[in-house]
Amino acid sequence: MRVRRLPIIDLYVEDDACVVFVGDQVVALSALATQALLAVGDEWTEDAAVASALADAFGPPPPGTDLAAATTETLMALSELRVIEHD
Amino acid sequence: MTADDVKSATECGPATRGLSRRSVVRTAAHAAWAVPVVQLAASAPAFADSTLPGIENPTYTFSRGGSNTWTAAGFTVSNDGPGPLDAGKIQFTAIATDGTWSQNSAASPWVYVSGAGTGTIIYSYNAQVPVGTNLSLNGPIVINKSNNKGDPTSSLTYQA
């Protein structure tokens, strides 16, 4: 899966988290989601690259949590918020 | 409305915090994998959906004072015209990721708009902003938070 960022009205990043103003919503994202969003640019980005960025930032996920699956879940949640889109 | 319609809040001045979110995350990196993507969502104030093209370089600080008191101060903007910005067109918004806000004080011409008792409180600058550079918007705005949890965020937005 590839992802890319959609137009955002405003993005405020502080430390590891952010607040994003998109559509008619202001949404506070978790550190994990913030890192994922920052790893996604305006050009198509492979989800594996995002997974790698998350692992670099937070270390491997705990036992029982698959890195690829957790990354996909995070990206899909961001996609539902219309912050990013996927192919 | 486009992405250029509202100035980025990252242009605002530094905010001081008593507890760094980074320190919390770094000491429990594994926990980050279990935190839901969305920690808080709120409807954006309709006021904040556009900007005045002539307003540039907004700065301010948003910092925690004693106990659960937060202060926004040092508001400055530049207005390169072509004319003054009408009163009520600039808003300050504070968002609590945990707890609720209540009013403490707001120096004139800042006036409370809405949000006391909720996690998002809004104030409006109720004076005209003339053409000029590094204009002081006075302040401070002082608000109280119901607890000392989480890291509040803030933004300064304006409407054409």
Distances (CA, A) of A30 to A19, A23, B3, B86, B149: 9, 19, 22, 37, 15
Write down the pTM of the prediction: 0.47
Q: Considering only A10-14, B34-38, B45-49, which range has the smallest mean pLDDT? A: B45-49
Confidence of residue B29 (pLDDT cuts 50, 70, 90): low
* pLDDT (mean) for A33-59: 90
Total count of domains within chain B: 1
Q: Do residues B108 and B141 lie in contact, with contact meaning Cβ atoms separated by under 8 Å? A: no
Domain extents in chain A: 2-86
Distance from the Cα of B150 to chain A's closest Cα (Å) equals 11
Give the right CATH number for A2-86 from 1.25.40, 3.30.160, 2.60.40, 3.90.930.
3.90.930
In a domain, B5, yes or no: no
In a domain, B67, yes or no: yes
Q: For residue B21, give the nearest of A16, A62, A77 by CB distance.
A: A16
In a domain, B4, yes or no: no
In a domain, B132, yes or no: yes
Q: Which structural domain, as residue segments, surrounds residue B91? A: 10-158
Q: Do residues B44 and A24 lie in contact, with contact meaning Cβ atoms separated by under 8 Å? A: yes
* pLDDT (mean) for B9-22: 36
Q: For residue A30, give the nearest of B29, B36, B44 by CB distance.
A: B36
pLDDT digits (tens, 9 = 90+) for B112-123: 998 899 888 999
Q: Do residues B134 and B79 lie in contact, with contact meaning Cβ atoms separated by under 8 Å? A: no
* pLDDT (mean) for B20-39: 57
In a domain, B2, yes or no: no
**Mutation choice for B interface testing from A5, A13, A21 by most B CBs within 10 A:** A21
CA-nearest residue to B41 within chain A is A27
Confidence of residue B24 (pLDDT cuts 50, 70, 90): very low
Confidence of residue A48 (pLDDT cuts 50, 70, 90): very high
Tell me the pairing of strands B101-106 and B141-145: antiparallel
Nearest to A38 by CA among A87, A75, A1, A82: A75
Q: Examine the pLDDT at A24 and tell me if it is beyond 70.
A: yes
